[in-house]
Structure formats: structure tokens, C-alpha cells
Amino acid sequence: MCGIVACFSREDCYGKLLAALRRLEYRGYDSAGIALLSAAGLSVRKRAGGVGNLAGPPLPGETGIGHTRWATHGAPTDVNAHPHVCGKFAVVHNGIVENFAQLKAELIAKGETFRSETDSEVIAHLVARAYEGDFFAAVAAACGQLRGSYAVAVLCTDRPGEIVCARSGSPLVAGCAGGALYVCSDVPALGEDACFCAAQDGEFIRIEGGVIRFCGRDGREIPKTFTRASGGGCAEASAAGSFMEREIGEIPAALSRTLEGLRDFDFAPCARAMRGAKNIFAVACGSALHAALAFKDAAEEEAGAPVLCFSASEFRSRAPLAGRGDLVVAVSQSGETADTLGAVRLARSRGAYVLAVTNVAHSSLAGEADLAVFMRAGPEVAVAATKSYNCQLLCLYYIAAQLCYYRKDRFPSYFGELFRLPEAARAAFSAFSAAEEIARAFRDAPAMYFIGRGKEARTAAEGALKVKEIAYLFAEGLPAGELKHGPLALVEEGFPVVALSTSRALLAKMAGALAEVKARGARVALLSQYEEALADPAVDFPVRLPALCERLMPVLSVIPLQHLACRLCLLRGFDPDRPRNLAKSVTVE
Ligand code: F6R
């Protein structure tokens, strides 16, 4: 989604803004722009396409704003790119102005002329019309008219050296790094050795006189503490490979960090909710939803606690279900996903207790939940979730174990095995050569199925999502038992099927499904830790997984699938880190 950055630097402000925009690229975008303010006034450079298109002689000035835009209102063109300028003001915006049509009509009726099709341009006009000599008051008045979500940064030609920023519903952090002051969408944009502080909804950040100040709409200062970002810098993609490949390689280390955090985590504050929740819900989107479904499996089977699992957008679309006495587990890598946040707000407004699982300690989700578990996966730059998914699973299996403890007075039998996960994940890398072979065999297929049974049905869905999003190959993940109810119709000579079979009790049933697809000519890959499953004559591509207790196998079985998706993507000539149409942090509904 869009990323914003504001910078005050006496040296090379333009270069610093460009570098920050590059560090925001992972969020996903399709146009970019920069405005700098100098004694000569505003200079703006904005273009459709990548940040690289902004190259050219540096724009002059010590104060500037920049933007990466992920098109919502209006195509990704030069004109629709931010910053938007109106009179003395230049504005960058992340979010959606829901009442923009009405505001735009009112502004046009008052004589304003619009250049772009964006919702964001209304903000520049509103600020310009509200301005009576007080820059901050004009931004505050404009923000007061906006409905929807926004993080904005504004320059004013009357006030060189000043930037006014505001947050409502979209993330915004202030920080210092390398002698410059910044306000931006997230911590990785700050680069190495940064100190930062996140804004809360309704807060403003001002850069003025070489200092950063937080304040409320009335201008009254809000005291804040800045924290050093821990490894918060965004790693640069090395010649050795894409971010996605490196992030898959980091899975064992990330799982170790997750375990360290969980060991010290105090679940006592949610003991009451764990013990006595009337209903337990799990809400999330995308990959995090697949992890939430794995939580449902574990909580129901191990703790005997039924869990209602919802896509966060669906949870919001239905009559509110959760209320007082209920526990809602919300899962989000970024902690900024609009639908997940919306579901959490809805649940909390109805009195439910929210336990969040997120990778970003200063995220909105962490701030709004009653208690937050941090995954500690480290920054994930590639758009497709990989290491964060494995760490989410680990957190959620850990939470299911706590649920079991609070409800049954004992930990489930898999609890001790959780601590073997880092080593077992490393062992799962030995399946990469088999995944490579499968990728070469299936690279030109028009579509493929991923099938699993029980807990591996979630892994099948996750494998299919990865392939769709980065290899642009239609893939469906489904419970193997569903094949006969429709999907089998598509299976013909050469159709690729990737199956997961990691439960001994279900081996025979999976063998039946494989026989069905093989009889219709499918090419079959099978992932299992069981030799008898791998030796099935229906299997063309056996993928051997390391042995671990069955409950935890989804943490391992997904790893070769992540690698398979990445290899398919590269073989088909695409960039795994920046899939088309997608964004890392989905901050709009
Ligand atoms: C898939 C993927 C997305 C995210 C989803 C939720 O690879 O990355 O499906 O899982 O957008 O994002 P978070 O976890 O940040 O809420």
C-alpha cells in the first residue's frame, strides 16, 4: 500500500528521501513522487512506475516529502502520483478519504480546479482553503473534515524547515537516523541505527526548528519516548537472491527468536479469558487466516475449545458475533491490516477480550489489543508472507497449548516439541532440491491443485496462495476429500497435484485421493515424513520431510511449498518480491 515519508536534513535531503522511498518499496506501489521546499519554492518530481524513475538532478531544499502510491482512486499515472500541490501546499497521503466525492464536489463548487483523479488531492485543497497564516491550524482543520483513514505529511511554502503530519487509521512513525529527522509509514523506512516513536490515532507530528514534536489537534504537545529500532532496518536485497529466498532461509533463526520471546511471555493477563471465554474467535486475512485456521485445529483437538475462525472482512460483514466474555485471537504480521483492525475494534467495542499475534511491536494492532504476542520474525520485506507464517504458526500452537493448560490443567503432548522447531525447519531445507524439480516440471502448467487432509488442508491453501500471488499461476488449495465434489473435473493428462500427507491415521485416505487423480493422468508430488506414503506408485515427485510430532508438521511442510512458489516465480520470469497488484501492508479495506 502507499508509503509516505517526510524528511528534514541539512545535507542531501533529496537523496535521503529517495533512499527512504526505496526502503518503503516492499509495501507495494505503482508510482512515486517527491517534493522539496527551498527558498525558491516547491520543486516536485513524480512519475508512474518505480522509484528509479525519479532519478535526475537532486531537487534543492532541506525539507521534503515523498510517496509511493498503490493506486486506488485513479490509474497509476504521473498526474495521479503524489505529492499533490495546491497553492502554497504539497501533500502526500496514505489511506482512503471515504467522503472525497462529496468534498471534491463542494470544493469544485467553490471554484477549485482538480488535476488528478485521486481522493488524496482533496486534502491539498482543504488545507489551502483553511489557511489563514497558521500552517498547523490549516492542516488540523482540513483533517477534521476527512472521513476514512489517513496518514499525511504537508509542506507549506511560507514555512521552510517545517513539516506537519497527521495520523488517523494509517500508520505513522517519527524517527531520527543519520543526522536527519523523518516521519514515515513504518520503521524500516528509517534505515539503520534509527530511533523512533509511533503516533497514535488523532495525533499530529511536527518537524520545526530542527526538532520533532507530537501534539494533539489543539496543538498541545504530547510527551513521547523514542526507542532504538532493534534490527529495524530493512535489509537490502543482495546479489545472492531475492528477499523472499533470504526470508525463507531465515526461518530457523526466526523460529528461535519467536521461542525466546514466548518463553518469557506472561499469559497471566489473559488467563481469565483463556479459562472462561464463552466463545473463542480467530480473525485474520490471507496467510494469517491460514495460520488462524491451524490455531482452530489445535485449540479444538488439544484443548477441546471450539474456535470460530473468520476472514476478518467477513467477520465485519456479518452481524457482530463476539461480545462480552468472548476471546478474539487476531493474527496479523504487519498489525496494520485494515480489516483485521476493523474486526478487532468491533469486537472490543462489544466487550470481547482481544489477544493479538503480530510481528510489529509498535503496530496499531498491538496498541489496540488487550494483550499482544510478538512473533519476532524480524522485518519481512517480500510481499508474500514466508517466515512470518511459520512464526505465526509457532505462536498460535503455543497459545493453543496455553489454552489447554488453562482449561485442562496440563500442556498438550506436543508442547516440548515446539522447542525442536528451529532445528527441524533447517532439516526441511533438504526438501528444496525436490521442490526445484517440481517447479521445473510444473512451470508451464495452466493451473495446479494443492491437496491436504485435516491440518494439512490449511497448508494446501497456503501453498496455493503463494503460487497464485507470485508465480501468477492459478492454484487451488483444498481438502483432498473435496476433489470428488467438483474439482476432479479439471484433472486430465499432466495436471499438477501437490499433496501433503503427514498424519499416519490419514495416509490410506490420502492414498485413495492420489489414486483418483493419477487415474485421470495427474502428475503427483507428495510431501510426507512417512516412507510408505512416499513409495506410493501414484507419486511422481516424492518430497521427504523431517520427522516431528504430527501436530507441528504444518510448520515444516509449508517450507518446501514456499520454496516451490519462489522457484516457479523465478522460472516463469517474475520478481518474487514485488508481485503485481499486491501490497505488503493492506491498510485499506
Ligand atoms: C500472502 C500474504 C497476505 C497477508 C495478508 C495479511 O503471502 O502475505 O495474504 O498474509 O495480507 O497480512 P497481515 O498478516 O499483515 O495482516
What distance in Å separates the CA atoms of residue 519 and residue 179, rounded to the nearest whole number? Answer: 67
Return the residue whose CA atom lies nearest to atom 11 of ligand 1: 286
Report the amino acid identity of residue 496: P
pLDDT of residue 149: 87
Q: What are 330-349's pLDDT values in tens digits?
A: 999 999 999 999 999 999 99
Is 202's pLDDT higher than 60?
Answer: yes
Asked if residue 377 has its Cβ within 6 Å of ligand 1, the reply is no
The alpha carbon of 278 and the centre of ligand 1 are apart by a number of angstroms equal to 28
Return the residue whose CA atom lies nearest to atom 10 of ligand 1: 287
Q: Is 326 helix (H, G, I), strand (E, B) or coil?
A: coil
Asked if residue 337 has its Cβ within 6 Å of ligand 1, the reply is yes
To test the pocket of ligand 1, the residue of 170, 283, 289, 337 to mutate (highest count of ligand atoms within 8 Å of its CB) is 337
Asked if residue 288 has its Cβ within 6 Å of ligand 1, the reply is yes
Q: pLDDT band for 241, please (50, 70, 90 cuts).
A: confident
What distance in Å separates the CA atoms of residue 530 and residue 18, rounded to the nearest whole number? Answer: 51
For residue 195, indicate whether it is catalytic: no
Q: pLDDT band for 577, please (50, 70, 90 cuts).
A: confident
Average pLDDT over residues 88-109: 94
What distance in Å separates the CA atoms of residue 68 and residue 2, rounded to the nearest whole number? Answer: 5
C-alpha cell of 414? 506436543
What distance in Å separates the CA atoms of residue 323 and residue 364, rounded to the nearest whole number? Answer: 21
The alpha carbon of 331 and the centre of ligand 1 are apart by a number of angstroms equal to 10
For residue 156, indicate whether it is catalytic: no
Q: Which CB contacts under 8 angstroms, 24+ apart, belong to 539-544?
A: 539/514, 540/441, 541/434, 541/437, 541/438, 541/441, 542/434, 543/431, 543/434, 543/435, 543/438, 544/430, 544/431, 544/434
Q: Which atom of ligand 1 is nearest to the CA of 392?
A: 14
The alpha carbon of 389 and the centre of ligand 1 are apart by a number of angstroms equal to 9
Asked if residue 312 has its Cβ within 6 Å of ligand 1, the reply is no
pTM: 0.81
Task: Please state whether 202 falls in left (phi above 0), alpha (psi between -120 and 50) or beta.
Answer: left
Out of 16, 387, 455, 584, which one is annotated catalytic? 584
Q: pLDDT band for 167, please (50, 70, 90 cuts).
A: very high
Asked if residue 283 has its Cβ within 6 Å of ligand 1, the reply is no
Are the C-beta atoms of 20 and 189 separated by less than 8 Å? yes
What distance in Å separates the CA atoms of residue 376 and residue 365, rounded to the nearest whole number? Answer: 15
C-alpha cell of 379? 522485518
Out of 2, 7, 184, 285, which one is annotated catalytic? 2
